[in-house]
A and B are shown apart, each in its own frame.
Chain A
Amino acid sequence: MTPRLIEVRANILKENDVLARALRERFERAGVCVVSFVSSPGSGKTTLLEKLMARMAAKHQIAALVGDLATENDAARLRRACPQVRQITTGTACHLDAKMVAAALEGWALEELDYLFIENVGNLVCPSSYDLGEQMRVVLLSATEGEDKPLKYPTIFNTADVAMITKMDLAAAAEFDCEAARRNILTVRPGMRIVEVSAKTGAGMAEAEEMVEGLRAASCQ
């Protein structure tokens, strides 16, 4: 007998997409601006966020979620900048998904917040497939990683809205060719906004802050 062919035509990650859409609507209703950060491990997500949140905490109500396979270390670091931080430990999962984000928000009054930052698990591959309901996704590339990272991991750069080149204070020591890195980012994601920062010296941090604040101003209009 000939088998029956059942047409499904659905996104494999439909469940995540549905949850992410619900989260995005919830964030919009609450008037909270949600920005996520993705990068390879060790490119400076936590340090950047710690400094960015410390700058913004006096003016705005902010909170953060931070994902790692194990330990509460990053949450403890971010709490130095602002008290409302929750760690998501994923166990073995190499990325955050919308379900984990929704669960981690339990009990938080989102309407009291201006900004929510989500630090994803350090990984340049898997997070690209999972929408978290964020309004802006920032991908980090550190000066010590090499200029060709965007060419090696085009998908994550293609799904992000902004690229930040971090650890610029180490650029000279690492013989980092910033122009080549910019060219490579723009090759895989033409027109992408690029911000160069050093969380250590503070260079570029004002621009990073303005960019995040600009997003909120734009979404409130």
Chain B
Amino acid sequence: MLTGKLAGQEDVFIDGTVEGAIELPDSDLTIGPNGKVKADIKARKITVFGRVTGKMFPAERIEILKTATVRGTVKTPRIVVEEGAVVHGKIESLGQDMSFPAARQTKPLIIRQQSRG
């Protein structure tokens, strides 16, 4: 479990528990199927397979997959929600077309769940 503020310039994959704040203004955040995040999130792109509670401000887009549970506020230019996802909260999405340079192919930082017995 990670508590505090997570900030950086590389893509991050969280498959564990993170609480606090996440700031990745130029990078992508993926919350894996085992991820449990309670945080206010700023990222370029947010992809959610797991659980998130908080305020989300993707600069580009958010994708909420069918396994995801999202609670809180989302303010985003673009949004995709897969059927099956659980969403509770206020969504503001303008559906704007924003042309961003193609995603970089860098290895994300991975935060995995700790096995505790």
A, B assembled together: no
Chain B residues within 8 Å of A, Cβ to Cβ: none
